Amino acid sequence: MILRKSWFWGGAALVLGLALGWSLAGPVAVFGQNPTLPGVAKGPQLSLSPVPVSDAKLKVFAQALALIEEQYPEPKTTKDLVYGAIQGTLGTLDPHSAFMTPEEFRELQIETKGQFSGIGIEIALKDRVLTVVSPIEGTPAYQAGMKPGDQIVKINGTPTKNITLIEAVKLIRGPKGSKVTLTINREGFQQPKDIVITREIIPIRSVKARILDDGIGYIRVTHFQDKTDNDLQAHIKNMKQRLVPFKGLILDLRNDPGGLLDQAVRVSDEFLNSGLIVYTEGRNRNQNMRFYARAGQERKVANVPMVVLINEGSASASEIVAGALKDQKRALIVGTKSFGKGSVQTIIPLEDGSALRLTTALYFTPSGVTINEKGIHPDVVVEDKPLPTDKSAQKLRDELLSQHMRREGLTDKPWNQPITSEELDKDPQLKRAVELLRQWPPKNLAKQPAPKT
């Protein structure tokens, strides 16, 4: 029997010691020990049924495999063919079931663990050049003096021309205590310089925060990994001390693609004193679980007025949180309809280090509504700013990247530096959330159109 820890996974921004976009669609179940939250059901225990080797269908598969190996004009390894066959099989199921190579599975484990061994920089390909977006404060890269905009022209003497982000990550990451030499080109340098950096354990932060002068806190969750609840609690504790009185809280789940189920439950639990958070139903009885909020925890902010921001990029675990807080009438949901990722994927490791991400159940909000392909409908619909007609999506991404490199993004500034009116004017959804909290309790909200199913 193989034990699997239930994860909800909707994808995530994978900070590979650096930052690299990574998308895995859907809530996920992961392996290892099951979540042990008071009042929370344990994760599923699944058994693998042995498949008879003599099965006629497997004989057909083996025959096809042998023919390809013998007759195809270009040699193919058995491993490549088997992996391709598995990928093809899962591709006939649903958009969220998939096969992960050993390398992809390792990256998933690193991401959800919440830390990795590296140097602590975010990187991107800017104009096809490997470029530092930002060194993470306090990390070896930061202490070594790396700066936003630095171009990495070599890694341990290997030129980075035409390198991919994944290839760069492999070269830069390594065991704690080992060294990596980066050859850096920077504006003002007469010639590239070598910087030798000792790798350390780098935490992945999935929670960022800011405040407003009038007692309102803002928390953004980028994805749900192992330490999300701890990071959230730390920011809430700081806000309670700084914001007296604590008049309102905005939880920003926009473009949050999901993550671990137990973290979605724990985050929801921070704002609820009781009640059902989410439940799952699958073909296997062990996939049927119910998750409840816990009562009597002083650190909670269960009574502070609250708005949750969502958009079409909010999926999976973020939809669980938004759905729970909406159904329990704990928060007002503002923005646009969420993605609609309501199926549970179980991550099942295979013998060679690869893994299956297999859909095993659907999840439901407390009111019994399935999110799958329907999404969470906001209480207050606020569209984001439309893409300017004179700008392509790529140009807009380049501008946002440059803004981030200049540390001008909303969450690039210190958490205790108040959000300005100019910043609010650039974000109509956030601005509306602030207006609602300043006028709390909300009155005379325009009636929203009934959701289409």
Active-site positions read 316, 327, 341
* Contact by Cβ (8 Å): 117, 173: yes
Close Cβ partners of 305 (under 8 Å, ≥ 6 residues apart)? 247, 248, 249, 437, 440, 441
Pairing of strands 289-292, 98-100: unpaired
251/152 Cα distance (integer angstroms): 36
DSSP state of 326: H
Q: Which residues pair with 179 in a beta bridge?
A: 198
Long-range pairs, 280-285, Cβ under 8 A, ≥24 = 280/6, 280/344, 280/361, 280/362, 280/363, 280/364, 281/361, 281/362, 281/363, 281/364, 282/44, 282/344, 282/360, 282/361, 282/362, 283/360, 283/361, 284/44, 284/46, 284/360, 284/361
Which residues lie closer than 8 Å to 68 by C-beta, 6 or more apart? 76, 81
Cα distance between residue 261 and residue 343, in whole Å: 12
DSSP 286: G
